[in-house]
Amino acid sequence: MLGGPSAEREVSLRSGAAVAAALRSLGHTVSELDPRTPDWVLPASTDVVFLALHGTYGEDGAVQKQLEKLGVPYTGCDAEASRIAFDKVLTKQCCIEAGVPTAKFVAVHSAAADFPGNLSLPLVVKPTRQGSSVGLQFVERGEDWPTALAVALQFDSEVLVEEKIIGRETTVGILGGKVLPVVEVRPKAGSYDYANKYTAGATEYFCPADFDAATTKNIQAAALGAFRAIGGRDYARVDVMVRADGAPVVLEVNTLPGMTETSLLPKAAAAAGLSYAELCQRMIELALDRKSFAPSRRQISATRVSNSGFISAALRLCGFV
């Protein structure tokens, strides 16, 4: 499933096309379904749904609920974990309860709200329920507050306002309950906003990131802690800021991260020794492991090409099976 009705539709179409091509290269029979309206119908004899949707409807648990009613396995987190992770305020509350480090914050619902007296400049303002940095605003001076709040509220009825963490920006992929190598993100200009994410050459990526072993371990532990705090399963990508002293601060959890071949989760998987196609294969295997109807599993196994033994061996070598 790709595309969908969200503000991230174009990115989702790119993710879905890349995933479909990879799965076909492994010998799977793949149908592409664009759920622009909720009256979509799955193709007959669907064994598993690969969710390449981003943003509202795809990541907020809505499509997951529909698939659960149909009894069809799908990739990624379940409906409840998706709902929590898509809501940045709920995610932060879960992190706080679990002892996972995150920035101080408040939730704001009105464009007329006063500057939060318990927070210090600079601040980050972003819609509570959006992805891909949609509506992201920065408040460097007090006079920036009204405009930043008004812009962010165009994308949701609630916005998250948090202290801006000064440091290095990283992201950690999680696959099958195991952390992948840390990716560091360095925009060449400005912040890692929507434009810098999706403009070729606008951002540099380093994987594995150049941290010492102890700092790397702490970053990965914070990411895995956040993933578990929201009830995640199978895979996700957790964004983590790293202060100058090496302390990690979790920003958010992305349950359906970008899946173009240059996206961050595939970069991390590649650094762990998994090709893009192997990553996609692993994702559907994790979903199929939840399906008790054995004939469907045998059916999809029969479609694999002759290199499937190599793929399984590579997964075992990297510790994913």
Tell me: do 28 and 150 sit in the same domain.
no
CATH number at residue 96: 3.30.470.20
Tell me: do 13 and 151 sit in the same domain.
no
For 270-295, the pLDDT digits (tens) are: 999 999 999 999 999 999 998 754 33
The residue annotated as part of the active site, out of 192, 194, 198, 205, is 198
- Which whole-number Å values give the CA distances from 113 to 116, 134, 139, 290, in the listed order? 8, 21, 14, 46
Tell me: do 170 and 308 sit in the same domain.
no
The residue annotated as part of the active site, out of 59, 239, 278, 285, is 239
Tell me: do 184 and 89 sit in the same domain.
yes
Tell me: do 97 and 109 sit in the same domain.
no
In a domain, 251, yes or no: yes
In a domain, 187, yes or no: yes
For 147-180, the pLDDT digits (tens) are: 999 999 999 999 999 999 999 999 999 999 999 9
Residue 33, pLDDT > 60, answer yes
CATH number at residue 120: 3.30.1490.20
The residue annotated as part of the active site, out of 254, 278, 282, 285, is 254
The residue annotated as part of the active site, out of 162, 163, 252, 278, is 252
Q: What is the rounded CA–CA span in Å between residue 70 and residue 278?
A: 27
- Quick check: 206 and 184 in contact, CB under 8 A? yes
For 65-122, the pLDDT digits (tens) are: 999 999 999 999 999 999 999 999 999 999 999 999 999 999 999 999 999 999 999 9
Look at residues 113, 142, 163 and tell me which one is the last residue of a structural domain.
163
Residue 34 appears among annotated catalytic residues? no
CATH number at residue 20: 3.40.50.20
In a domain, 263, yes or no: no
In a domain, 4, yes or no: no
Residue 237 appears among annotated catalytic residues? yes
In a domain, 311, yes or no: yes
Tokens of 200: 């070729």
In a domain, 198, yes or no: yes
Q: Which residue is it, tokens 């999809």? A: 300
Tell me: do 89 and 65 sit in the same domain.
no
Tell me: do 96 and 209 sit in the same domain.
yes
- Quick check: 57 and 6 in contact, CB under 8 A? yes
Tell me: do 92 and 175 sit in the same domain.
yes
- Which whole-number Å values give the CA distances from 51 to 79, 85, 106, 182, 272, in the listed order? 12, 16, 31, 24, 23
Q: Give the predicted TM-score (pTM) of the model.
A: 0.86
Tell me: do 90 and 195 sit in the same domain.
yes
Tell me: do 91 and 232 sit in the same domain.
yes
Q: What pLDDT is recorded for position 306?
A: 34
- Quick check: 125 and 133 in contact, CB under 8 A? no
Tell me: do 145 and 174 sit in the same domain.
no
Tell me: do 179 and 223 sit in the same domain.
yes
Look at residues 123, 138, 163 and tell me which one is the last residue of a structural domain.
163
In a domain, 88, yes or no: yes
Domain enclosing residue 155, as ranges? 105-163
- Across 134-154, average pLDDT: 94
The residue annotated as part of the active site, out of 3, 4, 8, 196, is 8
The residue annotated as part of the active site, out of 132, 196, 218, 263, is 132
Look at residues 163, 182, 199 and tell me which one is the last residue of a structural domain.
163
Number of domains in the chain: 3
The residue annotated as part of the active site, out of 237, 263, 276, 282, is 237
Residue 97 appears among annotated catalytic residues? no
In a domain, 152, yes or no: yes
Residue 254 appears among annotated catalytic residues? yes
**CA 101 centroid distance within chain:** 19
Q: What is the rounded CA–CA span in Å between residue 251 and residue 169?
A: 10
The fraction of the chain above a pLDDT of 70, given in percent, is 86
Residue 198 appears among annotated catalytic residues? yes
- Which whole-number Å values give the CA distances from 223 to 76, 182, 212, in the listed order? 16, 10, 17
What's the pLDDT band for 203 if we cut at 50, 70, 90? Answer: confident
List of E strands, 207-262: 235-242, 248-254
